[in-house]
Amino acid sequence: MAASDRAAKFRAWLGLLGVLLAALIIAGVWRSRRTSVETPVVVEAQPPRKIVGEALKPQPRPSGYVGSEACATCHPAIAESYKGHSMYRSAGATPGTDDVENFAEGTEFKFDDGRIYQVEKRDDGIYHHEVLLDNEGEVLYDQAAKISFFIGSGTRGKSYAINRGGVLFQSPISWYTTDHKWDLSPGYGYRHKRFGRRIPYECVDCHSGRPTHDGDHDDYFPDPVLVEAAIGCERCHGPGREHVELHENAPAETDGLTKADDPIVSPSRLDPDRREAVCYQCHLIGKMRFPRYGRTSDDFRPGDRLDEVWAIMVAGTGVRGDQKTKAVSHVEQMRESKCFKSSEGRFGCTSCHDAHTTPAAGQADAYYRQRCLDCHAEKGCSLSAEKQAAAPANNSCIYCHMPKLAAHDVAHASQTDHRVLRAAPENEPNESGGEGDKLELFDQEHTVMPEWELERVLALSKVRKLQESNYASKSAAEELEQTLLMIADIAQDDARTWAALGNVADLRQDVAGARKYWLRALQLRPNDEIVLDSLVRVCQQQGDYQSALDYADRLIELNPNQARDYFSRALMLAQFGRLPEALADAERAVEIEPLDKKARRWLRDAYRQTGDLSSSRRHEDFLRRISALPQPPG
């Protein structure tokens, strides 16, 4: 055999050996992964069932708001008693006439990592500061923001909103009434967004009387942000213009009218699901909440069923084994109670709570005890009168049957257990409310939604869960995409469905498909910031930097407050050789987010390349001083 033939065979043998070794290594790694990491079970995709239906646009909602002052003209006694209610103090100007905060003392608190938080009262308003010191005690930065209004009755505390051109952000500083001190806002830990946590419309809607709503731009508030600051009469009774006109303009014609003829809504006269919806509109958040097709978060009116406007996905009571629970889960808890289940709809929120007044100081136990006796007069507490009166219960029904629970998502707060248990268990398993629980539509057995809309909501919730886990098996994603396409065929103008299609395609790394779907969503809602942000990213992935830059321009025009948007655009501008603009954007990014190390490193290097050594050293010095801190804040 020729030497060349032997060499060729030897090379072929080595190649085969290499393939075998690689296969063995891969098999070994695969076995190792299977034994050390649980792999997701891939279920074969089932042929999607046919979804049919007709998308009918709902009628516009009635307006005709007049404000609570108009109501007080004819109902002065109720208006006066309502001033003591926490809802009357739900939001407002700060400083105000009845501040519970201490603006004179204790207005500064510190952390070991060099952060200092300060509350400053100036002639033109309240300012909140975050200051960071280096190891020498020198100021690295001092970010200050003027507070626009407070949110919260002050019973437990207050948080604060910052208005930046119609885009609202939460301050990292809150007042805690129980502890009588300033501290970090709920949900802010060691790493937080400083003055960059966006406040969505739904939060302002439930914590204020009537915010200004822009149906074409989510979470944007045209002036005036709050038409009515505190929660007022019309939140529970509906727009009052027709009612006022009926009684003011033609009083003689009202003599023979019954209450049922009056256009104002009286919740007590509604059937149970519509009566409870008045409270549920804000006290039932669930795990996910979607406006129905053709609806917005501003569309609910007293007298509506809840599912005429929203689809709310829930997962149990939210009560955990360590006796902690979400701060807003009253409804799910109450509906688990025997009181609710045995009442055939009679028991509800107002069985215990008066919407017009609250018990006077020191009278809450007696007030709620009487509420309990309204139903349990014949068969009351099984304990003797002596034991009921003994400390620590002191004749308080709620002390034993509705104990306080620590709220795991709001610091310094507690919440009453609305399950009204016969006896609160010392340790209860986490059987419901966990993050992995299956989501279900609230009150699904009684929903008025047509089948295709129910499919839409279930699909949207599945997409949200997949996004949260950042994983989707190919078969599950493809099946979900087919379902959404059928829904999009029924409701071709539903931007939420097209955006969800883009999200599914993105999860399975179909960049071209994601872009196609998101473009359709953007055509329907040109001011959708989330879709614009997604398009910036996929255009960059495709190398279409001009389109990415165009979308970035639109995004920043809508919301010029995001550091990452400026830095992303700076990198693209630099690619196009527009360095002065890129430097300006990157500087704006670190102005908004001083600890953006990536942006500062880029600025350091970019200035060095342009010969601006002074600016380069400025950012280099900042990075050095940050890295020297014992625990650099995130």
Q: Where are the alpha helices (DSSP H) in 126-285?
A: 201-207, 233-237, 241-249, 272-283
User: Helix, strand or coil for residue 200?
Assistant: coil
In this prediction, residue 110 carries a pLDDT of: 92
Report pLDDT for 595: 93
C-beta neighbour count of 288 within 10 angstroms: 18
| DSSP-assigned beta bridge partners for residue 170 | 161, 197
What pLDDT is recorded for position 474? Answer: 82
Structural tokens at position 117: 């938080």
The pLDDT of residue 188: 84
Kind and range of the H or E element at 169? strand 167-170
**Exposure class string for 363-397: b at 16+ Cβ within 10 A, else e:** eebeebbebbeeeeeeeebeeeeeebeeeebeebb
> CA dist 592 to 29, 194, 197, 515, 603, Å?
45, 10, 12, 29, 15
547/251 Cα distance (integer angstroms): 63
- pLDDT score of 14: 35
Q: In this structure, are residues 373 and 380 in contact, taking their beta carbons and an 8 Å threshold?
A: yes
Q: How far is CA 15 from CA 4, 10, 12, 24, 424, in A?
A: 16, 9, 5, 14, 70
| Whole-number Å distance between alpha carbons of 51 and 431 | 34
Return the H-helix or E-strand segment holding 476: helix 474-490
Those residues with Cβ within 8 angstroms of residue 98's Cβ, 6 or more apart along the chain or in another chain = 89
What is the 3-class SS of 71-126, one letter each residue?
HHHHCHHHHHHHCCCHHHHCEECCCCCCCCCCCCCCCEEECCCCEEEEEEEECCEE
Q: What is the model's pLDDT at position 326?
A: 58
pLDDT of residue 301: 97
* The two structure tokens encoding residue 546: 């001009």
Running DSSP on this structure, what letter comes out for residue 194?
T
Q: How far apart are CA 329 and CA 319, in angstroms?
A: 9
Q: For residue 38, what are its two tokens?
A: 């649980």
pLDDT of residue 482: 95
Q: Residue 98: what pLDDT?
A: 84
Strand order in the sheet with 414-416: 324-325, 404-407, 414-416
Helical H segments across 542-634, by residue range: 545-558, 563-575, 579-592, 597-610, 613-627
Peptide bond into 429 cis (omega under 30): no
CA distances from 127 to 33, 111, 130, 185, 199 (A): 53, 19, 10, 15, 18
Pairing state of beta strands 108-110 and 91-92? unpaired
Give the Cβ contact number of residue 473 at 10 Å.
16
The pTM of the full predicted model, rounded to 2 decimals, is 0.85
Structure tokens at 310: 């929203």
Cα–Cα distance list, 85 to 109, 149, 279 (Å):
31, 19, 15
Closest CA to 100 of 159, 41, 57: 159
Residues of the chain falling short of pLDDT 50: 3-4, 6-45, 318-322, 429-436
Structure tokens at 388: 């009921």
pLDDT computed for residue 97 by the predictor: 85
Token pair recorded at residue 477: 């994603």
Strand, helix or coil for residue 563: helix
- % of the chain with per-residue pLDDT over 70: 84
State the burial class of residue 494 (Cβ atoms within 10 Å of its Cβ: 0-12, 13-18, 19+). buried
Q: What is the dihedral of CA 66, 72, 73, 75, to 10 degrees?
A: 120
The total of other beta-carbon atoms located within 10 Å of residue 121's CB is: 15
